[in-house]
Structure 1
Amino acid sequence: MGIRDWIGSQEASSAAPYCQKGESQLAREKFDAAIQNFNRGIELDRSHVGCWIGMGRAFLGLEKYDRADDCFVRALEIIPDNPEALAMRASVLRLIALQNQDPMRCLEAVELCNKTLKISPDSSPALHEKGMALWTLGKRDEAMLLFDQAKKIDSNYQYPWDLKGRYLFEKRQFHEAIDAYEEAIQKKPQDPDLLFQQGRALMKIGGYHSAINFFKKCLKIRPDFPSAWLLLGNSYKVLHQYDDAIEAYEEAMERDPGSTKYRKHIADVYLVKGKEALYKDGEPQASIEYFDQTLRMIPNHITAWFSKGVAYKKLGAYRNATACFLRVVETDPQNGHAYYEMAQILEKTHNVEESIRCYIETVRCDPSHTDAMYKLGNLLMESGDYKNAIAYFDRVLDKKPDSSVTWFAKGKALQRRGQQKDAERCFERAGKLAIR
């Protein structure tokens, strides 16, 4: 039977009116009603391919993929080369592959598309479905070529701009990805996933204000979207809108209570606020309150303990500061910065023995810490340990041979040790360096 004869026979069939009703209901996404009409048509004419394809599409709309596949198989048993049935079966096989994690079904879908393209090389549905199957198999470059080919062939082709956006985003072509998502959003302005992806892409080019607008639109449609709340919070944080950021993170935490990552984000915002109060605004007391907020969220937050110690040190509350730095080294024994801060406080409060111990720990953690070596050398010299003092001054000079103050300090240690000539050479070297 020729194609024209087949079309004529379908139109003359008693199933035709029910097929037309089914198609009308399909267009309105009334899938159950459509199935009833297609089924009635098949009862009257079991060879009506249009009814089998229509019913398959309706089951596809209901996400009943196995039932849909049965319908397309029946259509292909009647007309093995029917291009619409081949393309639709390829589509449903791809969806079954995704549902069952079965890549073999995707390969079957590709074969069906290849069969269609041999019959009709310019079939945009076949090109599209083959592209979708290859995309599912992770062959993104090949898929995009097929989508572009379909677009050139058919001006009415519904190009998958959302996939184009993802493809370009993964290739870090963020401006181009934004353009692609814009096209997709024009066709689906209420799609929360597209709005989210557009916001994420805008963040990558620094468009945080615009990103916030897209995340808000997304969340208005899908408020239970933790990732969107998270990126909304990140955008606010970059713009220094800290209270808004915390509110967004709290919304994310409420909707995803099993995750601990949002607590870290909230803690980090309080940490940033604390650092701004401490270093930018010069308000150490206010900064301590923010650091405490961080520590309530994450009790062992090393940076918060360290920064809180610095704030107490600025306030002259040396015992409290030392307690904070001790918490740091208890959690991180290799934190030379905390040992150095404690050493300075202990030196200032005339606790020489403990100060020396902390400077030694600083150098152990950071063998390049010349300030700690220099201070340690001076304390050892004042304690009468000239030999070790000179050894630390020499370690400084190995790294900073032009340090006039270190040459002078070494000279003093040598002088006190009775090595006058060596001391004079050091003093002479210090003098020359000082007048450079």
Structure 2
Amino acid sequence: MQSPESRMHKVEKIFKRFDVNGDRCLNREEMAALVIAVNPRVKFSDEQIRAILDEVFKTYADFIEGEKGLSFDGLLRTYDDGAGDVDRDFDALGLDLEDSEEEEISGREGELEAGGNGEGGQLTGTFRNAGAAVSIADERAEIGAARRRQNLGAWATSPGNGIKYEETWRLIEDLDILLRRAEAKIQERKKAREEKKKGVRSIAMEMSGELRDDVTRRGSEELGAEYPSFLKSLVELRQKADASRTTEEAFDAHMAMGRTLTDHRFYEDALFSFQRGTELKPTDVRAHFQLGITFYSLGRFSEARAAYELSLEAAQSSSSHWSTLLPQIHVNLGIAKEGEGMLLSACEHYREAAILNPGNYRALKLLGSALFGVGEYLAAEKALLEAIFLKPDYADAHCDLGSVLHAFGNDERAIAEFQRAIDLKPDHMDALYNLGGLMRDAGRYERAAELYSKVLSIKPLHWQAQLNRGVALLGVGDVEEARKAFKEAFKMTNRVELYDAIIHLKHMQKRPKGLSTVMRKSQENPSRDSGSIGKGGTITAIIPPSAFRRTNAKTTPRQWISSALDFRAFQQQTKLNRCNVMVLTTEILAGQLPLASGESNVGKLMRKADLEKILQRMLPFLGAEVFQASVKAINEKILNVLDRTTTGRVDIGMFLAIIAPLCAGTPDKRKRAVFDILVWRASKGMGAEIPRADAKIYIKLLRLIYMPFQGTSELWEVHDDDEQAHISYSEFLEMFDDPDWAFGLMITIVKLEKVDRIRHSGQICSACSYTIVGPRFKEVRANFSLCSICYSEGKVPADVKQNVYRFTEYLTEADAVKDKLKICGSRGSEDLRS
């Protein structure tokens, strides 16, 4: 076996080889030469080298001596941490040791095996090669105690929370050796896989995060056939921990094992240790806290949240000993809830952490980010500014502040914040991408293309960056490269909106005017834009509503289409159209709605964070990010209206009634659900009538939220005589369906739900030049067609001038063919009569 001195000698020789200037440090140029030399078969790009060096110099910042670079101890630490294989690098460089130590058998070349207990009761798991075997006990004897303990994290010697017992130290030293041997085997397997993958997936893709299994977690998959032997040795160590003399010693041993396994990213194996810790001391804060960290590292967010909640409960119920840990528990609990998509709930914990520790800039940054995520921009700006005040070089906070400022429309300050984030962290992908968007919108296409290219160098499969790079290239007139970028983006995501954009590009050939708008819609949520220039550069005219006429009653009025499109876009944004409306009545009948404390049944106020839980039950099929976007849209459009006094509580009955029209189900079922919810809101049971005042308030809110441009009417003002009056379901329907003063929009909404994905055989809108999807509106005299958006905005081609425009609506192309046949038939009859 290779001795520690031999290993250090090898590292020293490698260090001397590349310390060209002899300053006992490796600067960026010298480190780059080392990386290239020890990977002779890999062709690194300049971007890849920069990314590798940035990561090394960031991770080992404690070993960086200013401009001189990485010290010898820093290089040694990189090898100790498994970032490289000293033996492989030594051989690749063709170096030789001056003594005979190269003849010793390297533990990395052997096969992992677990034996029984050797002399002195020490574990004798071994690596074997050519009949030679060295036990962990022997290896532990060769390494000094101080050196062994340096291998562990700072937690091990932390006063009060570190390792307390000498027996635990000996056990952890054995475990550390076992883990380092396992890591050596993992590196061997990784190298073998990389050899197989050459020509299939590039190094750049691996660096982008597409092949992260080897660096994020370790265990059975990485060790393969070696894992059973590793696990056998690990079980023996666990048994030794359980055999400790006292519960306190066993707890200390299992917690230390879990921390050590976590440090080496063996998260699955660490779970057992922390779970055993919670069994030994169920009320101990640390065991639940570390269990939460481990669950989160494995992506098991709901289990992480549950563990943190137990940790918080234990900390709050115990003495002040854990008061210093409370802010961190709240922060981690908030992060776990974010992992589940629960931003409103996360905000409460970040806010509590900031209250407990006003100097916790990370809690303030997370609070600002979460508030931005739910559309609370003013509060988000305040929290982020406080975080930056406490830590001016916090790149993530500057980036998030830029996003908030952009939401306010203050793009000049937003650009400055994004640039500041990039100055602090040149590879800050979010800042690069967001700044690229602002440059694109400002018409600075060359700069935008450069920023998007940097994003792609960090993450080659970032389809949004590829898409927007195409827009920017089109802006600088490079049509061919733009087309290639669009095609690459389409390959990555297969979104039909990108296909339409490519077809449109072929149709227009050039002029990116407005193209970035439609691209943005393909990534975000559709919304209407206005102006006199169509999305493809077509010159259009805006016609007043009085000049838009219908050929028959089946053609939807222009103003109804406008409101229905907004409503439909909100449906798709929130995903509530995928939730059956009957789920709402199930919620209220279950009788488990957590109302705000001290509230009576009348009004039924609920905290926003609790309402978020209801939404999660209604939309269990959504991933965390999509659910967060849904809650943000609901908060901005509905909750902020219901919470006019900014108390953080809303009328749950009114909320459920307002979202009922958004849900899936026939119009009759949706209306019935609204009525039943209003009955529940006004009483304890499901009665047959509701107060007329409640119905009027509901309709006013419905119009205010979904039809803000059409306003409300004095017809629905609440008067004193309404307080005692009640109405039946049939009377409520009559009020609800009033086309002028209530929500007669439902007919148009249902129509759009059925046809807004219908494509009309390649028919192009004469105003915006995009493929028509959804209803097609044909002008009967001038024979041109409009998409529903241009029809709702009153846009027509500027070269078609008429006093009155008459439109027929076609839901499908089959309807258009039938109509054409009818016209031809009527003309034929006229010819016969003549």
Normalization by structure 2: what TM-score? 0.30
Task: Please tell me the residue identity of whatever aligns with 1:57.
Answer: I
2:225 is equivalent to residue 73 of structure 1: no
Distance 2:306 2:288 in 1: 9
Task: Please tell me the residue identity of whatever aligns with 1:61.
Answer: S
Distance 1:72 1:269 in 2: 55
CA offset at residue 234 of structure 1? 1.3
1:105-144 mapped onto 2 (5 Å cutoff): 105-106=345-346, 109-110=347-348, 112-113=349-350, 115-144=352-381
Aligned length: 289
Q: Is contact 1:181–1:194 with CA below 8 Å preserved after alignment?
A: yes
Q: Is contact 2:470–2:482 with CA below 8 Å preserved after alignment?
A: yes
Distance 1:303 1:143 in 2: 39
Q: CA RMSD in A?
A: 4.2
Residue of structure 2 in register with 1:8 after alignment: 160
2:413 is equivalent to residue 176 of structure 1: yes
Residue of structure 2 in register with 1:252 after alignment: 489
Q: Is contact 1:26–1:34 with CA below 8 Å preserved after alignment?
A: yes
- The verdict on how the C-alpha distance between 1:206 and 1:8 changes in structure 2, with shifts beyond 3 A counting, is same
More strand by share: 2
Identity of aligned residues (%): 19
CA offset at residue 328 of structure 1? 11
Task: Please tell me the residue identity of whatever aligns with 1:8.
Answer: G
Distance 1:117 1:220 in 2: 36
Pick from 286, 291, 297: which aligns with 1:61?
Answer: 297
More helix by share: 1
CA offset at residue 132 of structure 1? 4.1
Residue of structure 1 in register with 2:690 after alignment: none
Residue of structure 1 in register with 2:382 after alignment: 145
Distance 2:337 2:303 in 1: 11
Post-superposition Cα deviations, 1:196-250, rounded to whole Å, max 9, x if no partner, equal 3232122233332222122223334545444323311211111111111222222
Larger Rg: 1
Distance 1:304 1:68 in 2: 49
CA offset at residue 56 of structure 1? 0.7
Pick from 784, 803, 819: which aligns with 1:331?
Answer: 784
Post-superposition Cα deviations, 1:282-311, rounded to whole Å, max 9, x if no partner, equal xxxxxxxxxxxxxxx956464899xxxxxx
Task: Please tell me the residue identity of whatever aligns with 1:147.
Answer: L
- The verdict on how the C-alpha distance between 1:150 and 1:162 changes in structure 2, with shifts beyond 3 A counting, is closer
CA offset at residue 160 of structure 1? 2.7
1:13-412 mapped onto 2 (5 Å cutoff): 14=249, 15-16=251-252, 18-20=254-256, 22-23=258-259, 26=262, 29-80=265-316, 81=323, 82-96=326-340, 98=341, 103=344, 105-106=345-346, 109-110=347-348, 112-113=349-350, 115-153=352-390, 159-185=396-422, 192-268=429-505, 270-273=507-510, 300=764, 302=766, 329-332=782-785, 337=799
- The verdict on how the C-alpha distance between 1:201 and 1:65 changes in structure 2, with shifts beyond 3 A counting, is same
Distance 1:257 1:152 in 2: 43
Distance 1:233 1:246 in 2: 7
* Greater RCO, 1 or 2 (C-alpha within 8 Å, sep 6+): 2
CA offset at residue 21 of structure 1? 5.1
Q: Is contact 1:302–1:331 with CA below 8 Å preserved after alignment?
A: yes
Task: Please tell me the residue identity of whatever aligns with 2:445.
Answer: Y
Q: Is contact 1:151–1:159 with CA below 8 Å preserved after alignment?
A: no
Secondary structure in 1 matching 2:496? coil
Post-superposition Cα deviations, 1:374-402, rounded to whole Å, max 9, x if no partner, equal xxxxxxxxxxxxxxxxxxxxxxxxxxxxx
Q: Is contact 2:258–2:271 with CA below 8 Å preserved after alignment?
A: yes
CA offset at residue 41 of structure 1? 4.0
Runs of 5+ consecutive residues of structure 2 not aligned to the other structure: 1-157, 165-247, 317-322, 512-760, 770-779, 787-795, 806-834
CA offset at residue 46 of structure 1? 3.9
Distance 2:310 2:261 in 1: 22
- The verdict on how the C-alpha distance between 1:258 and 1:10 changes in structure 2, with shifts beyond 3 A counting, is closer
Post-superposition Cα deviations, 1:74-125, rounded to whole Å, max 9, x if no partner, equal 22233214332233223323443x25xx84x34xx51x45554554433334
Distance 1:237 1:191 in 2: 25
CA offset at residue 142 of structure 1? 1.3
Runs of 5+ consecutive residues of structure 1 not aligned to the other structure: 1-5, 275-296, 306-326, 339-361, 367-436
Q: Is contact 2:395–2:421 with CA below 8 Å preserved after alignment?
A: no
Q: Is contact 2:255–2:274 with CA below 8 Å preserved after alignment?
A: yes
Secondary structure in 2 matching 1:152? helix
